[in-house]
Chains A and B, each alone.
Chain A
């Protein structure tokens, strides 16, 4: 056989050990491919080498390099540590933070090939996604997040010192329970100061113009109990209905101290910061995986990494994008890496080498050439739900052998309602997309009414879709947390989204401790 031994000096590195020079060399080579050949656009990179223990640390504080103190992080650390020590679970090779500079953690145990892979995956793949996806652009402030966390950490430590651990913990516990109800799903209109001032001035002018002294002489109605405002007026005044429960409590809860409101605000901000990540799991991982695959293949093609290194890479790559089938013991849902990576490849394929079917399904995309540009476009403009709805091709559905199952609790059997055939494609795609739609996945809970002049009972409503109610014991526990913050009775009504019929009610009485939460 005519094995051509590449010139050793073309290799970026040799062997498994890594050092800083090698990392620097590899980084430059990867950067060249990523920016020049793939046209990626990234935040400046900062790579930090950490130990396994520090990786566990980072895990427990939801991946952030600094985080305030709370027992729940200690709990996660205790569990992760045990899993890791007992060998039930390995550690991630990297963690990457959506900040500018973009911080990627790499573990000291990794081999040089793994470090190369991690740099390609995190420092370029995720980094590009963070910088370019519209969701992240719209919702997160990459420059400010670390400073904000620093502020949050100091502020909470300060509160603990001043008001006691227990008091702070109660607020944080409650806030954590409401974290997924602490997100603004639609961006607020950004009101700038100038418009605000102008509006204020106009209002004043209007009042001046319409001033009539005679109004003063009109006899007032006898002072008595003010007529109760109509329900709709009341709701309007409080900005109800409101689905951001944390926001509502922060702004409107009558009994909270200033610092307690600030704690709610901190948790809400952090929750908001992670909101785009929750919506882009498939795309984010798909993007990073696609990028590292392209870069590693390119490094291999150009003879910059050895055959051995490439095989090692392929080994870990394939285990990352492995998708067990539904009847496999290892199956635990669709693997976002697998789906994401497959879809990215598929998009590039459709753009470059479409079949007739593709031309029919994706008239704009098929055959336009330059797969990389098509993929970059998708990364910038979609989230998981819309991405799947837009790009999942029949070809891929057949490849993954997707089928949809309907589980109706009333029936003794599960029903296969669509499979990967001509009749099923569109439905499967729609259903899969919905499986990634946070608005659909998370229960729709809103604050609908409160009578601040009356008994101050807070009323929440869960609009039930498909007859799936809330988990009762957890719902009760969360309501108790809300009652702690609100200070008065809280009621949750589950109504059917279709018939408006009341399906179930939960209520929690006012906490007995008056005054302090």
Chain B
């Protein structure tokens, strides 16, 4: 009997099958993920998801009998009261007491449930999205290095000894210098011994002995492994490029912004954050909220504390400019900004905001997304074409070569589509 411990065998043997399965069920999984992401809360957006898909696409059909019709016989255990000729009420679900086979008839499709891992979920969730302008991939201070293989060297630590190379060199040297093989020596010894036993004449024995001495000496002089054979793996430390990004969240928190609007904004920021996280090793977030004056705050304050006052958008832009100058030089950081607002602005501020955006903010940004959130119930107004102050202002700035995108969002449902629209891959081609 053999006992083999397989526990340390590579895990995830079925990964390839799983990928094939996901590819197969792609359409349905994507749909399920979209539905799920609409429902779930912000905090757990990154967790895996149990998805349910219609079994249709991944059904494995086979010839089998229908579950209804015809005459069937069953033998079942546990008779208590029946005698021959008794009749029994037909149980629901067909199949005369064989519960397991009973499936819904007609086109009723079974559902298939399984759990997506976090990565799979996000992959599908953020599929086909592309970050605009990934150019600024700066090498940060050389604090992070990786070792990469860089050929072989003649010196190094024993741990890095490259056995294959070493032995190859050794072999070729031994062949080149004609080092006698062990078999040859053994053969000669054998011959000598036989000659001695057979008592052949002395000169012949002498000749053999000399020959043997000669090759033994030679094999001693030419070592099996010589220091010049030895090779070590060489590693070079290479500074690792760190693509870093900073994401500015700008939001109007004046009284006109309702909780609903803030929630919409938060969802959008959340998506953007997730998305950046997948592209960049490290993503910083800066929260700037503004009323008639702007302030950099932490996340909690940003979303949950209320503030009163007027609305001056340019203050937020100025604050952002200040922060960039202080901490995030645009030569080293990829800067993304998302602004959420209900579109109110003091009319005297419009011109200033436009200039600021056009001349200062946009040139240093990779992408600037403006999301106008509206209360769910007054959707009619903007649909009728009434454009808000800020919308009109930004619209003047917008031009194909500027990385500015603007969208309106009214309900939670729209967040994801709008987000997709903003980052859809075709954007890069445009």
**Is the CB of A312 closer than 8 A to any CB of chain B?**
no
Residues of B1-52 at the interface with A, using a CB-CB cut-off of 8 Å, are 1-7, 9, 11, 13-14, 16-25, 50
Q: How far is the CA of A195 from the CA of B61 in the complex (A)?
A: 42
Chain A residue with the shortest CB-CB distance to B103: A471
Proximity bits, A60-80, B CB within 8 Å = 1, else 0: 110000000111111101110
B77-121 residues with Cβ-Cβ distance < 8 A to A are: 77-80, 82-90, 96-100, 107, 112-115
Q: Is the CB of A328 within 8 A of B63?
A: no
B51 to chain A, nearest CB (A): 10
Annotate A310-349 by CB proximity to B: 1 below 8 A, 0 otherwise.
Answer: 0000000000000111111001111000000000000000
Asked if A333 meets B100 with Cβ closer than 8 Å, knowing A47-B1, A401-B80, the reply is yes
- B421 to chain A: closest CB distance in Å? 30
Q: With A54-B13, A177-B60, A413-B90 in contact, do A466 and B71 touch (Cβ < 8 Å)?
A: yes
Q: Min CB distance, A470 to chain B, in Å? A: 6
A335's nearest neighbour on chain B, judged by CB, is B77
Q: Contacts A46-B1, A405-B76, A407-B71 known; A478 to B82 CB distance under 8 Å?
A: no
B71 touches A417 (CB 8 A): no
Residue contact B77 to A78, C-beta cutoff 8 Å: no
**A326/B77 contact (C-beta < 8 A), A23-B3, A46-B4, A469-B66 known:** yes
Interface status of B429 (Cβ within 8 A of chain A):
no
User: Which A residues touch B16, using CB under 8 A?
Assistant: 69, 74
Q: Chain A interface: which size bin?
A: 35 or more
Q: Knowing A51-B7, A468-B71 touch, does A477 contact B100 (C-beta < 8 A)?
A: no
Which of A69, A177, A403 has the most chain B CB atoms closer than 10 A to its own CB?
Answer: A403
Cβ-defined partner of B88 (8 Å) among A49, A181, A413, A431: A413
For A434, list chain B residues within 8 Å (CB): 73
Residues from chain B with Cβ under 8 Å of A47 in the complex: 1-4
- B contacts with A, residue count (CB < 8 A): 64
Which residues on the B side are within 8 Å of A57 (C-beta)? 13-14
For A73, give its contact among B7, B14, B73 (CB under 8 Å).
B14
Report the stretch among A9-17, A196-204, A379-387, A418-426 that lies at the interface: A418-426
Tell me if A85 counts as interface (CB < 8 A to partner B): yes
A74 to B117, CA, bound (A): 14
B20 contacts A165, C-beta separation under 8 Å? yes
Q: Whole-angstrom distance between the alpha carbons of A400 and B86 in the complex?
A: 19
When C-beta atoms are compared, the residue in chain A nearest to B95 turns out to be A407
**Does B69 belong to the interface (CB within 8 Å)?**
yes
Of A169, A418, A445, A462, the contact of B20 (CB 8 Å cutoff): A169
- Interface: B430 (CB within 8 A): no
Q: Is the CB of A81 within 8 A of B84?
A: no
The CB with the most chain A CB atoms within 10 A, among B24, B77, B83, is that of B77
- B68 on interface, CB distance cutoff 8 Å: yes
B14 and A402 contacting across the interface, CB-CB below 8 Å: no
The answer to whether B65 touches A443 (Cβ under 8 A) is yes
Min CB distance A342 to B, Å, is 10
Residues of A within 8 A of B74 (CB): 404-405, 407, 435
Is A117 in contact with chain B by the CB < 8 A criterion? no
Answer yes or no: A409 CB below 8 A from chain B CBs. Answer: yes
Q: Compute how far the CA of A26 lies from the CA of B67 in the bound complex, rounded to whole angstroms.
A: 48
Q: What distance in Å separates the Cβ of A273 from its nearest Cβ neighbour in chain B? A: 18
Point out which of B58, B61, B113 has the most chain A C-beta atoms below 10 A from its C-beta: B61
Mark out the residues of chain A between 414 and 458 whose CB falls within 8 Å of any chain B CB in the assembled complex: 414-421, 423-424, 428, 431-432, 434-435, 442-443, 445
- A173 to B78 CA separation, bound complex (whole angstroms): 41
Q: Inside 8 A of B76's CB, which chain A residues have their CB?
A: 326, 331, 334, 402-405
CB neighbours of B64 from chain A (8 A) = 442-443, 470-471, 474
Q: Would A419 and B65 count as touching, CB distance under 8 A?
A: no
Q: Does B150 contact A (CB under 8 A)?
A: no
Complex contacts, B69 vs chain A, CB 8 Å: 409, 467-469
Question: Is A101 interfacial (CB-CB < 8 Å)?
Answer: yes
Given contacts A54-B9, A405-B97, whether A181 and B75 have CB atoms under 8 Å apart is no
B377 at the interface (CB under 8 A from A): no
Complex CA–CA separation, A179 to B89 (angstroms): 37
- Docked-complex contact B63 and A475, CB < 8 angstroms: yes
Q: What residues of chain A lie closer than 8 Å to B63, measured between beta carbons?
A: 178, 180-181, 442-443, 445, 462, 470, 474-475, 478
Residue among A326, A420, A464, A477 with most chain B CB within 10 A: A326
Which one of B6, B71, B75 contacts A403 once the chains associate, using CB atoms below 8 Å? Answer: B75
B386 within 8 A of A: no
Residues B79 and A401 in contact, CB atoms below 8 Å apart: yes
Query: Given known contacts A75-B21, A326-B78, A471-B66, is B72 in contact with A417 (CB within 8 Å)?
Result: no
- Contact in complex: B84, A407 (CB < 8 Å): no
B325 in the interface, Cβ–Cβ < 8 Å? no
Q: Does B385 contact A (CB under 8 A)?
A: no
Asked if A501 is at the interface of the complex by the 8 Å CB criterion, the answer is no
Chain A, residue nearest B24 (CB): A71
B151 within 8 A of A: no
Verify if B70 is at the interface (C-beta below 8 Å from A).
yes
Q: Could you give, for residues 332-345 of chain B, a 1 whenever the CB lies within 8 Å of some chain A CB and a 0 otherwise?
A: 00000000000000
Q: A79-B112, A328-B78, A478-B61 are in contact. Are A409 and B4 (CB under 8 A)?
A: no
Q: Which residue of B lies closest to A325 (CB)?
A: B78
Q: How far is the CA of A51 from the CA of B7 in the complex (A)?
A: 6
Binding site for B on A (CB under 8 A): 20, 23-24, 27, 31, 44-51, 53-54, 56-57, 60-61, 69-75, 77-79, 81-82, 85, 101, 105, 108, 123, 165, 169, 173, 176-181, 323-328, 331-334, 400-409, 412-421, 423-424, 428, 431-432, 434-435, 442-443, 445, 462, 464, 466-475, 477-478, 481
12 more A-B residue pairs beyond the given contacts A54-B9, A75-B25, A325-B78, with a C-beta to C-beta distance below 8 A: A24-B1, A45-B2, A51-B7, A77-B17, A165-B20, A331-B76, A407-B71, A419-B83, A464-B70, A468-B65, A473-B61, A475-B63
Q: Which 5 A-B pairs have the closest CB atoms?
A: A325-B78, A74-B21, A468-B70, A74-B17, A78-B114
B residues near A (Cβ < 8 Å) are 1-7, 9, 11, 13-14, 16-25, 50, 58-80, 82-90, 96-100, 107, 112-115
Could you pull out 22 A-B pairs where Cβ atoms are within 8 angstroms?
A49-B5, A54-B13, A60-B14, A71-B20, A74-B14, A74-B22, A77-B14, A178-B62, A325-B80, A328-B78, A332-B100, A402-B77, A409-B70, A413-B87, A413-B90, A414-B97, A415-B87, A416-B88, A418-B84, A419-B83, A442-B64, A471-B64
